[in-house]
Amino acid sequence: MPSRRYVQGWGALSLAVGAALVTTAVAQDPAAGRARPAAAPEPAVVTVGACPGADGLCPAPRTTVLLDAPATVTLPAAAHPLDLTLRGPGRLTDVTVTDRRGRRIAGRADAGGTRWTSATGLPAGGTYTARLVVEEAAPDGPRRRVVRLAVRTPKAPAGERLTVVFGPGGDAPRTYGVGRPVTAELSHPVPAHEPAARRIVERALEVRSEPRVEGAWHWVDADTLHYRPRTYWPARATVRVRSGLDGIRVTDRLHGGRSRPLVFSTGARVEAVTDVAAHEMRVYRDGRLLRVIPVTTGKPGFRTRVGTKVVLGKERLVRMRGDSIGIARGSREFYDLKVRWATRVTWSGEYLHAAPWSLDAQGSADVSHGCTGMSTEAARWFFRTVREGDLVRVVHGYGEPMAPFGNGYGDWNLGWAEWLRGSALGTVPARPAAAGPLRPAL
């Protein structure tokens, strides 16, 4: 029986040889007029490891397996992809790796047909089957044989589990405006001084839309990421978000756990543009002007923030008090009002709302404490026209710029190049994934 060789790398990679199936070619004997077995092919020699990519040298531990007998390989649960390299004669013409449910693991082969690398790491606690088609030269023409290799990853060690809560949340899929970014709240912080861990996390958070768009994640802080397309979501799109962290080793102390996926849709593209200098707000749906509304915005000392904001929610009646924004009780600027038809755009209390007390200033002067005021009828119409995630832009104003994070969703105030600088994967995002089911494909 042929011997098995094991080539150990610098780490603690442990590979056990177990089961493989090899098909045998048959040659025709012209003289005898009957089939006879061809000369036994050389054993398939494959090195198995976990490498960061299909190009260049593999620094991770590797083992060479002679697949002349059934073989099972046990790999450590790691974030690096599975790497299969043919060391004997011939070339790989096809490689298929499937999990226990028959789902194919995405991957690619090199130009020479000798190496295949999965697109992502294999989660812990999994069982996989690798089917390799090896083509070799023979006197009577190319000869192909099929080799099957079982690959296992052990269960993740007990300890910390990194999970993700995606937003917008909710028990049932909802429809949002085209400006609503996807948020990801991590159960444990992944600090900026651990860039490798951040790359693992970011690669595992999948966002797909139909129609598809170019988009990228941005690290807001150590435990929060936002995802946005380059130029808003398409109208009437379906967005699917999931985490592939389950079983993945993120750091020595942190392994990914299961997280709940997210599905939501977008409605029409509704955008309100407030021109501070003109004292009017124009409301558009899918590029068509619906209405022009006279408004009043923030007066000196209380200027309305300029830039792009996103509708956070709506309240039919809200109590607004001056001390909530730092105005002392008893001062001439203090107010305590019950306000109707209020559409919120910042967490600090900026709204678009009914302001019947300032009708004489609407369309001609700025008299508010930072909100955008309009008539009761107009505010009710606006309240019923917009939904959470719709866009509100303030132009030609005098206030401070809307902050990208921390006071609502000001994500759109960052240019695309600046947004990409917040990604752990570099300034060039991955090619947008094709729309459709989240099942991995080769």
Q: Which residues are catalytic?
A: 353, 371
Which is nearest to 248 in space by CA: 207, 190, 208? 190
Burial 273-301, CB ≥16 within 10 A → b, else e: bbbbeebbbbbbbeeeeeeebbbbbbbee
Helix extents (H) in 293-357 = none
State how far the alpha carbon of 137 is from the alpha carbons of 27, 39, 90, 186, in Å.
14, 13, 7, 52
- The tokens for 27 are 């040659």
Question: Rounded to whole angstroms, how far apart are CA atoms 26 and 343?
Answer: 76
CA angle 397, 398, 402 (to 5 degrees): 80
Burial of 432 (0-12, 13-18, 19+ CB in 10 A): middle
Query: Measured in whole angstroms, how far is the alpha carbon of residue 142 from the centre of its chain?
Result: 43
One-letter identity of residue 25: A
Contact present, 372 and 354 (Cβ < 8 Å): no
Contact present, 312 and 395 (Cβ < 8 Å): no
